Structure 1
Amino acid sequence: MERLERDVRGSYRYFTKNEDKQWWENFFAEVNEEYDSDDEDDGIAEQLLDKKRQNSPNTEDLEVHISDTEDPIPPVVIGKRRKEAVPPCTIVGMMALMDVPRYAGEWPQIGQIISHEGDEVDIHWYGGSKTSPWKPCKRSVPGERGRRTDWVEKCLTSHIVSTFKLTGSGNIPRHIKDIVENYHD
């Protein structure tokens, strides 16, 4: 109460009407009068606690029933709700956004699924950027000067982040660009 009184009196200079100042002075006088008339041992806080104790139910009388069959409380989503992660399908011919630890410094890692067997896929790597078309990568054939071949490599299906199709112009679609931008956050 003392803090409120000090703060209000400190802001009197911002009051445009004298009636407002007078209202606060009357309020403080009434509160101080009531406070002085109470027993010194029974402060406002004690009175409020007593009232709360009178109104609150006795917890010993309450029966607690918790059911094992009740569904768990779903998580609260703050912000834009995202679709649940669906494991990417490994369809031969689809493009794949990959996260292969060996190429951690290269991002995004994009390739085409050439074959799928068990938990491995053959990926034909592609090169490009978020704003340019993606094209198949080639690499030099060791021991054969000037000869280049498709860069195809075995990877684990667990390294596939998402599968998709390139746009008609060979670019990555918008939803993959969004994944690329937010993946390492």
Structure 2
Amino acid sequence: MDQSKTQLPHFLYASKFTSAMWKLKVHLVGLIVHGIGIYGFFDVFEYPHSANLTISTLINILAMTEDLPPTLYLQMDNCYRENKNRFVLGFITLLVELGIFTKVKMSFLMVGHTHEDIDQVFSRFSSWLGRKAILTLPKLMTGFECCTTPSPTSVRTSHVWDVAGWIGKSLNKISNHSYPHVFKVEKRDGQTKLFYKKWSTDKVWLETTEQLLMNIPTDAPQPVVPILTKLDLNKLKNDIRTSFSYFKRDEDKKWWEEFFEELNSFESTSETSETPWPLQQLITNAKKRDHEIIIEQQQQDDDNEVTDLSDEDEPIPPIIVGTKKTSTLKSNGSVTVGEMVLLNLQEFCNEWPQVAQVVEIEEANSTCTIHWYKVQNQPTGSHVLSL
């Protein structure tokens, strides 16, 4: 999405001053978790837009997902700096190595064809901004949630980890990975391997000669300290406060003053809030999922076993060579006195099958006497049949 459209304050009608004033740049990362929801992660350029931001956003959204699937499919922008790089490939390899996923497939669109389903959400948000004046970040995030259906979820990016510095020491060197458009990571023969192909329509997967992930990092990555150098805080304060004359609500002015105090606290300290690295939570969720899959599979096996035994005990009909004879008897070959039966007698072959009742059975002669009921233009009567 064009990041200039999310700059704050966003005025519906621009004057000479508001067009030239220094504004707060707001960065939006959009994600669609198919079947679950749409998410927008907002930051104010206090974090570098690198692989760290991409991986931190990915692991945060995975931690928010209650039921992890066995296979993870990723569709990402074809951007080397943020997405298609050694660290992102190494991280998805780690997810498979730790058993969080059995397979991860990551795809990129070809150059010039970057219109993905998330772009439709950005288009709706852009259209919504064209009709509204948005002066603060909370109202911008609320607007994102109102711009389309189903309603997206806005998240303020507050935790980014230095995953590149953490996992980089455990990764092998890699080159030429900018050419393929599809990657796949899965275990083969007990080893986590990286496969790739140029296009999704290619039938043959190519395999790297060596493993990308050489070992599993044992510690946790350090949080990234927010940096405000890109904001030009002094100029931002002056221009925002000058623009207060265009603000109708005091609550919007109050938010900006509180926001400036928050930025001052960032500048005065280099400490970051203690936030647990979510990887262990993902491992726990994956173990729970795998256990449930095993229990479900065992139940299916038990059901199949009962069904198989039942099928084996059932008698099978004899193989008939030649013309199959029509039997008037039950499948077990027996009739009882008083039972109602259907007859298809030769003398009434052009009529509907007759309904009859078994009157007598002579086992010695293998015959039975039946009484059939009225047939068209024929009286009722008795008939002897051979069993």
* TM-score, scaled relative to structure 1: 0.26
Which entry has the higher C-alpha Rg, 1 or 2?
A: 2
* TM-score, scaled relative to structure 2: 0.14
